[in-house]
Every structure is written in C-alpha cells, then in structure tokens.
Amino acid sequence: MKKILFAASECVPFIKTGGLADVVGALPKEFNRSEWDVRVVIPNYEAIPDKFRNEFEYVTHFYMGTGPYVPSAHVGIMKYEYQGITYYFIDNLDYFGGSSPYSDTRTDVEKFIFFSKAVLAILPVIDFKPDIIHCHDWQTGFVPVYLKNEFSANPFFWDIKTIMTIHNLRFQGIWDIDTVMGLSGLPGYLFTPDKLEFQRDANMLKGGIVYADFITTVSHTYAEEIQTDYFGEGLNGLLSARKQSLYGIVNGIDNSLYDPRTDEYIHKNYSLKTYRKGKAANKEALQKELGLKVDPNAYLIGLISRLTDQKGLDLLQVAMDRILDESTQLVVVGTGEHRYEEMFRYYASRFPDKVSANITYSDPLAHKLYAAADSFLVPSLFEPCGLTQIISFRYGTVPIVRETGGLKDTVIPLNEFEGTGDGFSFRNYNAEELIDTINYSKYIFYDQPQHWTELVKHGMKKDLSWSVSKKKYEELYNALIRR
C-alpha cells in the first residue's frame, strides 16, 4: 500500500476560500483505495461548520516549540472519516480560532510555520508514515524545509519524499528573516540566497521549492510561464534551475458536483441531448430571478471571479460600454477590490435590464449562472489553472478566455474552417482584443448557429474530471517512490 499525505491550509467541504480547497477536497477521493492510502491534514479552524466539528474524534495532544519566539505551543490532533478518506485536523485555538482561516501576513506566517512543523510532528503519534507528503502552496512551504533539516536526524522520517504544488505563485509567505528565525527555530545558515532568503526577507514558498523533491503547478503552460521574468514573481531563476523536477498538471473538477443532469440548484436539468431546452429554461428563470429583461434571444455572458486585476477586470473596465449592446446581458458573481465592486454596481444601476452585479459568493447562484449563460468570460492577466472555464464546459456554456496558464491548456479556440474548437480565446492582454473576441463570439452565436452548436457539444463531451489528472499524479508519485 502506497501512502500519501496531503497537507494544505483549506479543503472542501470543511473550509474554502478558493480553488485550492476544491483540489484538496476532490483529488484524494480519486485514487484506487486498494493501492493508495491517501489522507489529508489541515488546521482545525473554529470556522469549520459545527456539523463536521461535532463529529471529529479526539486523538491526543502534545506540546511543541517552533522557535525561541514560541517555546511551547499546544498541538491537538482530531480525526474524521469522510467519504472514505481519513482527515486529520491540527488543533490550536490561538492560531486557528476566529471566523476566517487567514488574517494579516505576520499572523499567517507564524501560524503556518507552526502548522508546517506540526504536520511532521504528528506523524509518529498517529502512526502514519507516508511515502510522500504532498504540500500545497506557501502555507505548507516549510514542511520540506523541516523534513530535510530539523527532522532529518530521526529515522522515522527517513525516506519520506515531498512534492510542492504551486497553485498561485503570487502568494509566497514573506516576512523578515529575524522574525522567521525566531518563529521557526531554523538556523541562520538556511537564510541565504540559495535557500530561504528572498530579497533580504524570508520566503516560505521558496523554502518548499528549494527542498521539495518534485514541484508541480496546476497547468503545463503555467509551469512554463513561471520560469519567465513576467510571470515568475521573483522566483523564475530558481524555478528554471529546478525545471527538471517541475511538472504541470491541469486541475480537474468533480463531475458529480457539476452535472446539469442532476444539479439540484438549477431550474431545469438537462443533458447533451436536451441542452437547448434546458439552457433556455434556465436562462429565463435566472433573468426573472435577477430582474433582467426576460429575452430568450439575449446573449447572456457570465462572470464568476475574485474581482481583482489578476482576473483581467481592468480590461473589462475599458470594454464595458462597448460590450453592452442591445442584445447583450452580463451577470457577475464575486467579491474583491472595492473599485471593481463599485464598477459592476454602477453598470447594474445604469443598465438594470442588462447587468446584474451580485457582489457576493453564492454557490447556488454560481450553478444557476453556469446553466443559464451562453458564454463565460475569463480574461485573466495570468491564471495558473482556472476552474470556471472547465465547469462552464459541463453546462454547455462556451468560455471566452485569454491564452494564459490553464486557460490556454483547456480551451481550444474555434476554427470555423476545420470545425474544431470548444471556445474563444485572445492572445495579447489588451481591451481591443477582448472586445474583438466577444464580438466574434456574438457573430457565431447569432449568425453561425451550426458552429455554436458544435462548440457547445465539443465542450459538453470534454473530460476534464479529476480521473484524468489523477493518472498523471499517480505517475509522478510512482516515479518519486521508486527514486
């Protein structure tokens, strides 16, 4: 039996702020349990819903120092079996209390240094020695660092390998060296430019990249992009140096959660054979619910996103007046930077029959939008993987994306002459290309319905589930175990 431990800061269904939680929640369930024993460890946040927390089983607790600033801290271990997977929760109310899993950077750096060390410290206690610890994002960046340094003298930890997965390189866990040394107890000689030092500070993600056996990120194109100055966030030199150990594997989705045939949130269920009537019914229902003009011929564009520059919203800000013609409607779901929230509110008040700004995140509303929209907009500046365009395929909603990261890897642009493609894309990051691509999609929608039908069918037939990506992770795990 091959043993894998996923270590992460969040995991569906317990706690979620972004796509990381979806990955950590979905991927472990995909492995054949007769061959793989895959378990997960996350913090025991007070914000985890009581319906789960009340079922957690207390295992034990002990005290652990992480450094001179934290000579002793409580490490509780809770355990829970859910859908066949064993989950461990590291308990410390001082670090993981409160209504949100994240806080200011200084606080987060301290609590995830603690979490990284605790991930290793609990293993002998729970009698689980993984072949591989699969670490996710900067919050677990010090797991490989501790493993190869402080824990390397203990025979229990010999032969444990690590994989560091980068979900978004922009977030790295950076703080000043003196503080990080005081919090972590790691020796000064590790804080050098070839190890943990980064622009005179300490960098937790860099530690993970330096010390992990393999590094992955969430699409092949993003793995290439982050080795360049433009996308590398200051770590491109290191990533280029480790390119022989760097792999890109596209995220999948849980097809059971996103299935228009069974989705409980949408107004009318449908399949590939019945999508025309199904999508029409869902469009009408959503238009009524959101107060848009009820018009079956409207071209309904969906956007579900964090409202930030990364997501290409500065382009959309320039383009809005030219996108919103008489035939076009736009529904936005998401929260983020104040200026973008206000921008969408402004257009919703100016064009209440054409624009609906839902400055919130609502899973039921998101599902309704996937089912109702004709096209789905993802004009990102950079996008490590992106899940919304993958989900939109499932619902027969045609994605319009910029050719970056996972968007480029998952969306094949329409070729009218060859009859291929499942979406629309534009290459350069500028508003004119965005507008031209949206206008082209409208032309296909209204004037070339046979091509639109093919786009929808190609997308709905596409398999971008975790069962595909899981095979690539299995290959990677097997290669690392054999080393």
pLDDT digits (tens, 9 = 90+) for 19-33: 899 899 999 999 999
**Average pLDDT, whole number, for the chain?**
97
120-166 pLDDT, tens per residue?
A: 999 999 999 999 999 999 999 999 999 999 999 999 999 999 999 99
Domains 2-252+467-482 and 275-464 share a fold: yes
State how far the Cα of 118 lies from the Cα of 418, in Å rounded to an integer: 55
State how far the Cα of 305 lies from the Cα of 337, in Å rounded to an integer: 11
What's residue 483's pLDDT?
Answer: 84
387-403 pLDDT, tens per residue?
A: 999 999 999 999 999 99
State how far the Cα of 432 lies from the Cα of 388, in Å rounded to an integer: 23
318-361 pLDDT, tens per residue?
A: 999 999 999 999 999 999 999 999 999 999 999 999 999 999 98
Listed residue (228, 231, 233, 85) closest to 173, CA to CA: 233
Q: pLDDT-derived band of residue 480, with 50, 70 and 90 as boundaries?
A: very high
**pLDDT exceeds cutoff 90 at 17:** no
**pLDDT exceeds cutoff 90 at 254:** no
- The answer to whether the beta carbons of residues 23 and 251 sit under 8 Å apart is yes
410-438 pLDDT, tens per residue?
A: 999 999 999 999 999 999 999 999 999 99
**pLDDT exceeds cutoff 90 at 370:** yes
* 3-8 mean pLDDT: 98
What number of other Cβ atoms are within 10 A of residue 329's Cβ? 25
- What is 2-252+467-482's CATH number, 1.10.530.10, 3.40.50.2000, 3.30.70.270, 3.10.520.10? 3.40.50.2000
Q: pLDDT-derived band of residue 291, with 50, 70 and 90 as boundaries?
A: very high
> Could you name the CATH architecture of 275-464?
3-Layer(aba) Sandwich (3.40)
What's residue 19's pLDDT?
Answer: 83
Q: pLDDT-derived band of residue 98, with 50, 70 and 90 as boundaries?
A: confident
What's residue 251's pLDDT?
Answer: 94
Indicate if the alpha-carbon torsion angle 355, 356, 361, 366 is positive or negative.
Answer: negative
263-274 pLDDT, tens per residue?
A: 999 999 999 999
Bond prior to 13 in cis (omega within 30° of 0):
yes
Name the one residue in this structure whose structure tokens are 């200084």.
Answer: 106
Q: Where are the domains of the chain?
A: 2-252+467-482, 275-464
Helices (H), 351-379: 363-372
376: helix, strand or coil = strand
Cβ neighbors of 221 (< 8 A, separation 6 or more) are 248, 404, 405, 406, 408, 409
